[in-house]
Amino acid sequence: MVVEQATRESMAALVGPEHVETARDADAVDGVRPAFVVEPANAAEVAAVVAHADHHGLAIAPRGGGTRMTWGNIPARLDLIVSMRRLDQLLEHADGDMTATVQAGITLQDLNDRLAERGQFLPLDVPRADLATIGGLIAVNDSGPLRLRYGGIRDLLIGATIVRADGAIAKGGGKVVKNVAGYDLPKLMIGALGTLGVIVEATFRLYPLPATNQSLAWESGTPEVAGAFILAVLDSTLVPTGLTLRWSTSAGSTLLLRLTGIEPSVLAQRDQALALAQAHKLGEPWRLDASDWSGLHAELLSHECALVARCSVLPSEIPALIRMLEDVAEQESLEVSAVIQAHGLGLVRATPKGTGDVAASLRAACMELRKRLAARGGTLIILAAPLAVKQRLDVWGPAPDALPVMQQIKARFDPNGSLNPGRFLGEHA
């Protein structure tokens, strides 16, 4: 308690007493409750807080909107949550250069609302955009259907400023789209779960908002039919901004296709897509609207559920993935649903039907899926699961042969292990 009091006083001196709060239950990460939540106002305050914590052996978890705090393994230690809530500014929208520089704590929704005023957007469509912050999204590397056309965060992020564990403020990349000066440090932060530094600022390349869009959906019959249609679209001259397969054990599968751009192009592409669908005997299509897309993933993530995982497969393996999901659903008596993008990334949700050893059946399902995916070059990462599952299973799966390099990077960026200890790849207790 003496240490806690001293920490509180030190933190209060750095960010002001009104920005240091005693942590509540809701601040716990996988049941590990920190002592404080600290809300610095700017990069310099973040640096001071992180340096102080690092020096005193305190474990830090950076936090944006807190929408994806279950991602990663159970923390080995956690003393301090550094909330980025107050770093919420759009610093520059250079619309003529199609770039924007933001503080890490701005929400995706807020950013895109502002960019839309000048006809541009950051093409990231992920659930809970109203809460999810840019820094958090970089750290977890989330993406949605738009990735098919615009790429992921690694294709959009062109510069970043981070606070290192020792409090040094360092930047990589820049504010121009084309730039190969020095190592690409921003890329290193993508998907790193805040283990190498706290992201405080980011610069993105932007795209013009499309003039019109049209979306179609079809009942898609067997996974093989759906898979063949997906490959046919990828092999065509269509340029969809979304091609998604929604599937569940109870409701079968639906294909969704989104076309955007200037109207004549969207209409011409729609006719081509309809012809392609007919050739694949997909049946009568129906029209979708924008909310059908934004609701896609939210549906999977928002419900109180047992397990959510991210799968990655080759596009040609999408039917095989569905068949695997069917098999484990049957074997382990699970209700399973999935949203799979044409580029091979999918979100899977599994809920036990029965009441037996729920954790055991979810673990068995994950292990079986991992084994079968690995044989086809695929991976499965657990994003949320009951503690009893996470305690016994590394959420990241088997480590790649490059793990020693990753551990060396971690050791050189964060030698005291202050940033999100225990949560990353290869750190499962």
Partner 1 sequence: MIERHIIPELRRIVGDVGLLTAPEQLRTYESDGLTSYRVVPGVVVLPASTEQVQGIVRVCHRERVPFVARGSGTGLSGGALPHAKGVLISLARMNKILSVDLPNQRIVVEPGVINAHVTQRVATQNYYYAPDPSSQSVCSIGGNVAENSGGAHCLKYGFTVNHVLGLTVVMPDGEIVHLGGATLDQPGYDLPGVFVGSEGTLGVATEITLRLIRKPEAVQMIMAAFHSTDHAGGAVSEIIAAGMLPAAIEMMDHLSIQAVEQATHAGYPTSAGAALLVELDGPTAEVDALIDRAEEICERNGAWQVRRAATADERLLMWKGRKAAFAAMGRISPDYYVQDGVIPRTALPRVLRRIDELAEMHGMRVANVFHAGDGNLHPLVLYDGDVPGAAERAEEVASEILTACVDAGGSITGEHGVGEDKKKHMPKMFNEADLDTMNRLRCAFDPNLLSNPGKVFPTPRLCGERPGPRREHPLVAAGVAEIF
The least CB distance from residue 287 to partner 1, in Å, is 20
Which ranges in 160-284 belong to alpha helices (H)? 185-189, 223-234, 263-279
Nearer to partner 1, 127 or 261 (CB): 261
Tokens of 127: 């659930």
Cβ pair 321, 368 in contact under 8 A: no
Nearer to partner 1, 33 or 154 (CB): 154
Nearer to partner 1, 33 or 175 (CB): 175
Q: What angle do CA 196, 152, 395 make, to 5 degrees?
A: 55
The least CB distance from residue 228 to partner 1, in Å, is 10
- The structure tokens 């770039």 sit at 99
Which ranges in 75-169 belong to alpha helices (H)? 108-116, 134-140, 147-150, 153-156
The least CB distance from residue 1 to partner 1, in Å, is 25
The least CB distance from residue 23 to partner 1, in Å, is 25
Determine the residue type at 207.
Answer: Y
Q: Extract the runs of DSSP E, i.e. beta strands, from 9-79.
A: 20-22, 36-38, 60-63
Nearer to partner 1, 85 or 118 (CB): 118
Nearer to partner 1, 179 or 333 (CB): 179
209-228 burial by CB neighbour count: b if 16+ within 10 A, else e? ebeebbbbbbbbbebebbbb
Three-state DSSP state, 329: helix
The least CB distance from residue 56 to partner 1, in Å, is 12
Q: Extract the runs of DSSP E, i.e. beta strands, from 262-401.
A: 286-288, 307-312, 334-341, 345-352, 379-384
Cβ pair 282, 220 in contact under 8 A: yes
Nearer to partner 1, 4 or 97 (CB): 97
- Residue 80 has phi, psi (to 5 degrees) of -140, 130
The least CB distance from residue 206 to partner 1, in Å, is 11
> What is the chain's length?
429
The least CB distance from residue 61 to partner 1, in Å, is 18
The least CB distance from residue 245 to partner 1, in Å, is 16
Nearer to partner 1, 36 or 413 (CB): 413
Determine the residue type at 54.
Answer: D
Nearer to partner 1, 89 or 379 (CB): 379
